[in-house]
Amino acid sequence: MSAQTLQLIGALRRISQSLDSHSKFIEHSAGLTLPQLLLLEALRRESAPLTAGRLAQQVSLTQGTVTSILDRLEDRGLIHRGRAADDRRRVLVTLTPLGHTKLDSAPPLMHADFLRRFDALAETERDLLLQTLEQIAALMRVGEPAAPTTSKESKDRKEVQCVALPASADLMEGSPIPVR
């Protein structure tokens, strides 16, 4: 195993531990799992009701997973599912007043310190991080072929590989991304 692979595994482990720790905090303080909170936030962000399929796309979960989470949220009175007036085959999901109240008292999806540091990055640095994380997520899809890329996506990926981030004395431990 190469040194880079070990470094990658270490970084992914630290990310996983941080997400797990914050997920436990959310569950303890809000009584919601991170995926439940994620779905509620996605519903709040939209002005119109959404289908379970559209929600699944927005939060990168399978439709089956979203459906079972929605079952639990509906049982708790946090969401409402109803048939679309124009097409009775479509089921639309909305946030209930109780769901809004629960969200208002819930902690943020990510740790506040992380959000503050991420927001302080230049837009190009945030874009680079997001592109890199999306690429890592695609590489980690075990048993699935890599998604085909358009020529623009390939060009963008090549450009991303050439971007150099500014040096900073305030670097996160082991990360090339400066923390402000």
pLDDT tens, 18-66? 999 999 999 999 999 999 999 999 999 987 899 999 999 999 899 999 9
> For position 85, what pLDDT does the model report?
86
Domains observed in the chain:
20-105 (1.10.10.10), 111-180 (no CATH)
Cα 143 from chain centroid? 22
* pTM for this predicted structure: 0.70
More confident residue, 125 or 153: 125
Please count the residues of the chain. 180
Least confident of 55-59, 136-140, 173-177: 173-177
Nearest-angstrom CA–CA distance, 22 and 32: 12
Nearest-angstrom CA–CA distance, 21 and 26: 9
For residues 106 and 95, the answer to whether their CB atoms sit within 8 Å is: no
Nearest-angstrom CA–CA distance, 87 and 33: 32
> For position 69, what pLDDT does the model report?
95
CB atoms within 10 A of CB 165: 16
CB atoms within 10 A of CB 78: 23
Give the whole-number percent of the chain exceeding pLDDT 90: 65
Give burial (CB, 10 Å; 0-12/13-18/19+) of 17.
Answer: exposed
Give me the amino acid identity at 93: V
